[in-house]
Structure 1
Amino acid sequence: MSRATKIVATIGPASSSPEVLERIIRAGVDVVRLNFSHGNAQDHIDRAVLVRDTAKRCGREVAIMADLQGPKIRVGKFTGGKILLEKGSRFTLDAECELGNADIAGLDYKDLPSDVKQGDRLLLNDGLIVLAVDAVEGSKIITTVVIGGELSNNKGINKQGGGLSAPALTAKDMEDIRTAMAFQADYLAVSFPKSATDMELARQLANVAGAAHGHKPALIAKIERAEAIPALAEILKASDGIMVARGDLAVEVGNAAVPALQKRMIRMARDMDRVVITATQMMESMITNAVPTRAEVSDVANAVLDGTDAVMLSAETAAGKYPVETVEAMASICVEAERFEEMKLERDFVDKSFTRIDHSIAMAALFTAHHLDCKAIVALTESGSTALWMSRHRVRMPIYALSPKESSVRRMTLYRNVRPVHMQFSNDRDEALKQAEILLVKNHALAIGDSYAITCGEPMGAPGGTNMLKLMRVNR
């Protein structure tokens, strides 16, 4: 695989059959997202088993990301299923309303009247409908329609500028964490975190639930609340990565603010040795069309050029008419964009100091392999940390990360430019290096005459013990 940027794809009705799932994995999916906003626990368990079996049949390493629903801040249901709101009309949101009509709607989130005041603006259905709050009377929010349109059952509500007090983790999320740990999800995506505390609680719950299975997932913070922006550094420290979730975030901070925020978040994540996924409407038109728009092509390409680890597909592969074609199109855009990436390795190291031996070895391997124009960089790694550090910098050669731990191999599928490979290590260093070269030659990653840089740790098998860099050439 020549592509460095990874692809996350959501599976749903359009992609849950063994045949389609196999085709999208072969087309280039690296991480499968299970959206816990839909389906029940058994649905997700069955799909996780299917993903594992299909990936094995394809000879691919594919991770699973369990994406928690988070708080449901939505309108209730309507008589007839939908209504039409006219600009200038009065409309009431009532936490005690059971079934709505053209004048009033119920609320799934019963505390919304406590979170808003006169003058606030509420944005419904991804911002397509805008309501101005005129007054709050007990359980009722009296509003005037600023931008009207069709409103159907269970559409989302955002407050412009943020400020909703709903907790990031609901009772449903806590139960879903237990489900995700039962099938050992590699990544757990937490919706609507506002602070590092939200992520720390999610990690504690996941570690407790995963203990019975000997499993600890990596945590992804979905940045979709306005409050998360000033707390971004703290959230990053408490997480293994972030998702630039542009849908709800755009509704809260405004569409125009999102592109610059996206660049800032990608840069911060890379600087702090965290992974980053760019998501939401990347190939939206391909839900119904066989080819993307030119704007979508540019959107994906710009995320790649910004340095994102992965680009994500949601409804395009979960419910769209062309899930396989969408993955193929996204993969080709990534490859083409990567051809024009700016290499700035020397600048990356200016004014940088490394206090850890393993981190220093990883950086030395990058720098040396880059200047010697090696064919590849190879890391023998238990935890995957060495490969993660290497993946934060752009080089033209691939990084092959060999690990005996299946959990580490799957986690590394999300790291940009890292090709994870499962391999059991010999306790003898020289024998392990020999095994690695044989395996990579067998897999056509290396050929006779190729030079490469390889890192490992002594004694073998100790996490965090990378302390050796060797320059090699394939002679057999």
Structure 2
Amino acid sequence: AGLVAKIERAEAVADAQVLDGIILASEAVMVARGDLGVEIGDAELVGVQKRIIERARVLNRAVITATQMMETMITQSLPTRAEVFDVANAVLDGTDAVMLSAETAAGSYPVETVEAMSRVILGAEKHPLAHRSKHRMDQVFHKIDETIALSAMYAANHLEGVKAIVCLTESGDTPRLMSRIRSHLPIYAFSRHPRTQSRVALFRGVNPVPFETDRIAEAELNARAVKELMQRNLVFEGDLVLITKGDAGAQGGTDTLRIVRVGDVIQ
């Protein structure tokens, strides 16, 4: 099982090495702004939130922003402008997820709250800032799967005509790495494992797709993956699709990147 570290103590954010250690030891971190704000003070909270999100992305971990995001909707049917800005800014900072608490656990407008937050998230994701990334461009890579994942994202962001990124994955590590780079393009994580499908759903911009790779001949995987997207009306003839994969059944072995055009013979 993955571990989500709830960051809520002043000691956790006072020292950069301590914060990085917590992030690296976790599958994901949560910015628990209620208790953290009490510990460090409201004036420091905004900057610390941005730093936690930034460090989590640099260190290839997911990050959740939580606490009082739409607090007034416990009793009101519409959010305040300040709450709208709060959610949108977290999205623009790069958070993977925003979290509701009492708004849906005990509030009078749980459905309206989720709908309002969804609208704000989708609106923020349209902003150009949400599509720009210089993630690790000045660093040397040491792993092949990491190199393929990041190369795929930069290619997708700069090649005209790309409509989707397909990642055939066993563990979910490659889509996690991909999701650290900002993009307006969807990442589809094709996996035969329900646990992996659940895991990748947390990562920003990643959509899990159940896909029985062990029942498909390896030579047919690319074509079958594109066919699956076509059947879901996610890509159409003429669109470009980036596909990453490794040896069948191997974890951590992503070593191939292909760019295919929908409608062509795909191998």
TM-score (norm 2): 0.94
1:30-62 Cα deviation digits (max 9, x unpaired)? xxxxxxxxxxxxxxxxxxxxxxxxxxxxxxxxx
> Which whole-Å CA distance do the structure 1 matches of 2:22 and 2:128 have between them?
28
| Structure with the larger strand share | 1
Query: In structure 2, the residue corresponding to 1:454 is in which secondary structure?
Result: strand
Matched, 1:431 2:220: yes
Query: Equivalent residue for 2:198?
Result: 410
Superposition deviation, residue 350 in structure 1: 2.7
Superposition deviation, residue 354 in structure 1: 1.1
Contact 1:305–1:341 under 8 Å retained in 2: no
> Which whole-Å CA distance do the structure 2 matches of 1:370 and 1:252 have between them?
40
Query: In structure 2, the residue corresponding to 1:400 is in which secondary structure?
Result: strand
Matched, 1:222 2:11: no
Q: Which has the larger radius of gyration?
A: 1
> Which whole-Å CA distance do the structure 1 matches of 2:20 and 2:122 have between them?
30
Query: Equivalent residue for 2:19?
Result: 232
Contact 2:169–2:191 under 8 Å retained in 1: yes
Query: Equivalent residue for 2:208?
Result: 420
Q: Which amino acid aligns with 1:428?
A: A
> Which whole-Å CA distance do the structure 2 matches of 1:372 and 1:227 have between them?
44
> Which whole-Å CA distance do the structure 1 matches of 2:184 and 2:120 have between them?
17
Q: 1:38-437, aligned counterparts within 5 Å?
A: 217-229=1-13, 230=15, 231-342=18-129, 343-345=131-133, 347-373=134-160, 374-425=162-213, 426=215, 428-437=217-226
Query: In structure 2, the residue corresponding to 1:336 is in which secondary structure?
Result: helix
446, 469, 474: which one aligns with 2:235: 446
Query: Equivalent residue for 1:160?
Result: none
Contact 1:427–1:461 under 8 Å retained in 2: no
Contact 2:126–2:184 under 8 Å retained in 1: no
Unpaired runs of at least 5, structure 1: 1-216
> Which whole-Å CA distance do the structure 2 matches of 1:307 and 1:250 have between them?
20
Superposition deviation, residue 341 in structure 1: 3.6
Superposition deviation, residue 349 in structure 1: 4.1
Contact 2:135–2:180 under 8 Å retained in 1: no
Superposition deviation, residue 430 in structure 1: 2.0
Q: Which amino acid aligns with 1:398?
A: P
Contact 2:4–2:26 under 8 Å retained in 1: yes
Contact 2:179–2:203 under 8 Å retained in 1: yes
> Which whole-Å CA distance do the structure 2 matches of 1:372 and 1:235 have between them?
36
Superposition deviation, residue 428 in structure 1: 2.9
Q: How many residues align?
A: 258
Contact 1:400–1:421 under 8 Å retained in 2: yes
Q: Which amino acid aligns with 1:437?
A: V
Q: Which amino acid aligns with 2:258?
A: K
> Which whole-Å CA distance do the structure 2 matches of 1:386 and 1:368 have between them?
15
Question: Residue 427 and residue 354 in structure 1: after superposition, are their counterparts in 2 closer, same or farther (change >3 A)?
Answer: farther
Contact 2:58–2:135 under 8 Å retained in 1: no
Following TM superposition, the consecutive aligned residue runs of length 4 or more in structure 1 with deviations greater than 6 angstroms are none
> Which whole-Å CA distance do the structure 2 matches of 1:228 and 1:341 have between them?
32
Superposition deviation, residue 427 in structure 1: 5.5
Q: Which amino acid aligns with 1:432?
A: L
Query: In structure 2, the residue corresponding to 1:269 is in which secondary structure?
Result: helix
Q: Which amino acid aligns with 1:218?
A: G
1:231-278 Cα deviation digits (max 9, x unpaired)? 211111111111000001111111111000000000000000000000
Query: Equivalent residue for 1:455?
Result: 244
Matched, 1:472 2:260: yes
> Which whole-Å CA distance do the structure 2 matches of 1:344 and 1:299 have between them?
20
TM-score (norm 1): 0.53
Contact 1:399–1:419 under 8 Å retained in 2: yes
> Which whole-Å CA distance do the structure 2 matches of 1:359 and 1:350 have between them?
13
Question: Residue 466 and residue 427 in structure 1: after superposition, are their counterparts in 2 closer, same or farther (change >3 A)?
Answer: farther
> Which whole-Å CA distance do the structure 2 matches of 1:220 and 1:396 have between them?
26
> Which whole-Å CA distance do the structure 1 matches of 2:49 and 2:128 have between them?
18
Query: In structure 2, the residue corresponding to 1:414 is in which secondary structure?
Result: coil
> Which whole-Å CA distance do the structure 1 matches of 2:132 and 2:112 have between them?
33
Unpaired runs of at least 5, structure 2: none
1:142-190 Cα deviation digits (max 9, x unpaired)? xxxxxxxxxxxxxxxxxxxxxxxxxxxxxxxxxxxxxxxxxxxxxxxxx
Superposition deviation, residue 446 in structure 1: 1.3
Q: Which amino acid aligns with 1:223?
A: I
Query: In structure 1, the residue corresponding to 2:3 is in which secondary structure?
Result: strand
Q: CA RMSD in A?
A: 1.2
> Which whole-Å CA distance do the structure 2 matches of 1:218 and 1:420 have between them?
17
> Which whole-Å CA distance do the structure 2 matches of 1:234 and 1:367 have between them?
28
Give the % identical residues. Answer: 52
Superposition deviation, residue 348 in structure 1: 2.5
Q: Which amino acid aligns with 2:200?
A: M
> Which whole-Å CA distance do the structure 2 matches of 1:430 and 1:365 have between them?
21
